[in-house]
Structure 1
Amino acid sequence: MPILITADELAARLDAERTGRADTRTVVLDVRWSLAQPDGTDAYRAGHIPGAVYVDLDGELADHDAVGEGRHPLPTEAAFARAMRRWGVRDGDTVVVTDDLGNQSAARAWWLLRHAGVADVRMLDGALAAWRAAGLPLETGDASPEPGDATAHFGGMPVIGIDEAAALPGRGVLLDARAVERYRGEVEPIDPRAGHIPGARSAPSGGSLDASGRFLPAEALRERFAAVGVVPESGAPVAAYCGSGVTAAHAVAALAIAGVDAALYPGSWSQWSNDETRPAATGDEPSAD
């Protein structure tokens, strides 16, 4: 299935649905979230794609009852199914996710929906900025869809834990999707220790986007990841992490566009840095200690 959809393609699908010409339903999810502004409700209400349902990343795409698994542990299968039904998702729907951050938060929903077994999940390429640039209309207020009947069956996407993340460098490639300053250990705005997982390579998620917030072409992404050691022909495993498993999903999506299947380490640096038995590396290079 495609990973991306353009603003014009999405508009055409929504128009076909409104006029009864659509073969399948399309559900649009708005995942407005950032570290600086975790609650995107006000931004969503001020203007979103018509019919788009707001998704609470902290409340619906994470399980904060899980202890010791980082800031955004994966939700349970049952909880995620309930969230999908609240969003109005039915089995067989096409689901399009977006945000106002080049899909760097919406990718978490893309990943979880794929993990849950939803066959057709796409990110709006260029996110809300692309919709605006195309001159397409926005809607204000809240959307209230009829409850859906979607089911969740986790296992559709590969996941690794903290021990697997520790063991991956050397036999595969572990990518750090955070800003390079956090990777180097120069700054750490939220987690208890600065630095990166020993052996991990720096590949900030924003580097997979062009100036307009759209994903780079597949060939450019292949070149980008090859420069940090990702060689699909080698068969070596690849995984990504970030601060708490949000932008790492964006890295997994970019790798998928490049033709690389990669695992997600959901606990990410927020789990690793809270475990004092785990070493932290600093600097530019993926050093071993």
Structure 2
Amino acid sequence: MRDLVTTQWLARHLHAPDLRVVDVRWYLDPARKGREAHAAGHIPGAVFLDVDADLSGPGGGRGRPLGRHPWPSPEQVSRVMGGAGIGPGTRVVAYDDQAGAVAARLWYLLRAHGHDDVAVLDGGIVKWIAEGRPLTADVPSVAPASFPARLRAGFVLGKADVLSRDAARPLLDARAAERYRGDHEPIDPRAGHIPGARSAPFAGNLTAGPPPIFRPPAELRQRYADLGAEAAPPIVYCGSGVTACHDLLALHLAGLSGSLYAGSWSEWSADDSLPAETGERKALKRRGRREGPE
């Protein structure tokens, strides 16, 4: 199974006994609940996993030292994935309603813990609905599985890794450009970005739509080459370690790789001892092109 699957592929394989479809809809707006959206209608057979409770460790929150979505322990990953019926032989397809911005968190989390047979549904439930495909409110019966989680080296980094990174290794910020620049900061303690970071909004991985889907691998390769990812695998961050995984999926689709700074800006900005920059990063010349924010 490829890392990105189409709605047509999912429709053909929806009832395969080794396939687990996972709804990971989640919203920054606390008035909106992914679990409620799932209950109102989801792709048949899909289970629900919550970004806050299931795909993040304890102790997170706005303005807290660990950031908003701390990386979960292997023990938590084992428990959650096993409870969702995901084991070593399970193919997993994750979807959301934000063009993979949230679903990529599950894709990266599973790969980081040794489970490569996972994909994101391109276009998500928005494309599924637009094509007239079925939804259900039925709760599937799921047999628990055993999921042996072991974090792979290099997939997830911390503040110390970012502070000590080689200057030749790119640092990419997946947030919207206005948050990178520090024009405003509606969520986290400080505005701006980590010094030396380049702006790489996750929306730049997508077509215009509607609905938006991932750009072709060759276009993604050029995008990330212009951001320095061919010279060295970048460290990628966002607000809280969720949409950065969208950039990491795009890098993977482009034949490149990177690492996640899991605490991201919500952790960094909560530590007053750490520096921050605002404004645009000065563009660099590379092969006749300009590197910098898109």
Q: TM-score of the superposition, structure 2-length normalised?
A: 0.89
Counterpart check, 1:205 vs 2:199: no
The answer to whether the Cα contact below 8 Å between 2:174 and 2:201 also exists between their aligned partners in 1 is: yes
1:181 maps to 2:178: yes
Preserved CA contact (<8 Å) 1:116 1:156: no
5 Å-filtered alignment, 1:23-38, equals 25-37=18-30
Distance 1:173 1:39, change over 3 A: same
Distance, in Å, in 2 between the alignment partners of 1:99 and 1:223 is: 26
Q: Matched residue of 1:29: which SS? A: strand
Supply the distance in 1 between the matched residues of 2:282 and 2:185 (Cα, whole angstroms). Answer: 18
- Deviation of residue 10 (structure 1)? 1.0
Distance 1:132 1:26 in 2: 20
Deviations 1:40-98 (A, max 9, x none): 11111111110100111100101123773211111111111110111111221100000
Q: Which residue of 1 aligns with 2:238?
A: 242
Instruction: Verify: 1:219 aligned to 2:252, yes or no.
Output: no
- Greater percentage in helix: 1
Q: Deviations over 1:113-152 (max 9, x none)?
A: 1111113100001111121233211111433412122221
Partner of 2:66: 69
Structure 1 equivalent of residue 270 of structure 2: 274
1: CA distance, partners of 2:148 / 2:8: 29
SS of structure 2 residue aligned to 1:123 = strand
| Aligned-pair Cα RMSD in Å | 1.8
Unaligned 5+ segments in structure 2 are 284-294
Residue 102 of structure 1: how far off its partner (Å): 0.5
Counterpart for residue 53 of structure 1: 47
Q: Which residue of structure 1 aligns with residue 150 of structure 2?
A: 153
Q: What's the counterpart of residue 291 of structure 2? A: none
1:164 matched residue in structure 2: 161
Answer whether contact 1:93 1:120 (CA < 8 A) is retained.
Answer: yes
Distance of 1:141 and 1:207 partners within structure 2: 35
Q: Which residue of structure 2 lines up, in the alignment, with residue 21 of structure 1?
A: none
- What's the CA shift for 1:157? 5.9
Match runs of 1:81-96 below 5 Å: 81-96=78-93
- Equivalent residues of 1:8, 1:134 under 8 A apart: no
1:124 and 2:121 correspond: yes
Residues in 1 aligned to 2:259 and 2:36: alpha-carbon distance in whole angstroms: 33
Q: For 1:187 and 1:169, how far apart are their aligned partners in 2?
A: 29
Paired letter, 2:235: A
Q: Secondary structure at the match of 1:60?
A: coil
Instruction: Extract unaligned runs of 5+ from structure 1.
Output: 18-23
Bigger shift: 6-15 or 275-284? 6-15
The amino acid that maps onto 1:168 is R
Would the aligned equivalents of 2:59 and 2:66 in 1 still touch at CA under 8 Å?
A: no
CA distance in 1 between partners of 2:173 and 2:190 (Å): 15
**Counterpart of 1:53 in structure 2: which amino acid?**
V
Q: Is 1:4 aligned to residue 4 of structure 2?
A: yes
Moved more, 35-44 or 61-70: 61-70
Say which SS state the counterpart of residue 21 (structure 2) adopts. strand
Are 1:14 and 2:14 matched, yes or no? yes
Between the aligned partners of 2:220 and 2:128, the Cα distance in structure 1 is 23
CA distance in 2, matches of 1:237, 1:258: 12
User: In 2 relative to 1, CA 157–54 (structure 1 residues): closer, same or farther, beyond 3 Å?
Assistant: farther
Whole-Å Cα distance in 1 between the matches of residues 153 and 14 of structure 2? 27
Contact kept in structure 2, 1:32 and 1:41, CA below 8 Å:
yes
Match in the other structure for 1:20: none
